[in-house]
Amino acid sequence: MSAAVIEFRAARLGYGSAVVLPAVDLTVGAGECLGIVGPNGCGKTTLLRAILGAIAPQAGTVEVRARVGYCPQRTQVNTVLPFTAGDVVGLGSLKRTPDLPARVAAALEACGLPGSSERVFADLSGGQQQRALLARALIGDPDLILFDEP
């Protein structure tokens, strides 16, 4: 197996005193594709949050040795502030360089939304919003992409 990009060792995951996943041991190597399936409430999103660093393990360790892109199941959009698709995609880039608008346009085009940078995100169809969120995940040139219920 290639070098591990994700390693969980006896990781207990949860929120406050509630334990969602009591003992996770998992190794994912570079180039591997992993699907996590299970019923609602079994801890799939909790596992993703631990990989993203949004929650720390209550015990054990979680190590991620990769740049991570994240494509959520859905996103809340503030309709008072008319964010464009380009604004949403640009949020995925840590590099605020002069070429950001061109990189945003290229990411949108790669995801099947050419010329959509100036369209209001809330006005896009659900499928178009998902494509824009994928472009946001890709713009940071990640080594690893996480999809929550793709």
Domains of the chain: 4-66 (3.40.50.300), 71-147 (no CATH)
Query: Is pLDDT of 142 > 70?
Result: yes
Query: Is pLDDT of 80 > 80?
Result: no
Query: In whole numbers, what is the pLDDT of the chain averaged over residues?
Result: 91
pLDDT tens per residue across span 105-139: 999 999 999 999 999 998 999 899 999 999 999 99
Residue 150 pLDDT: 64
Q: What is the pTM of this model?
A: 0.80
Buried b (16+ CB within 10 A) or exposed e, 82-103: eebbbbbbbebbeeeeeeeeeb
Query: Is pLDDT of 36 > 70?
Result: yes
Buried b (16+ CB within 10 A) or exposed e, 19-36: ebbeebebebeeeeeeee
Query: Is pLDDT of 76 > 80?
Result: no
Residue range 90-112: mean pLDDT, rounded: 92
Residue 37 pLDDT: 92
Residue range 10-35: mean pLDDT, rounded: 94
Query: Is pLDDT of 1 > 70?
Result: no
List the beta bridge partners of residue 64: 6
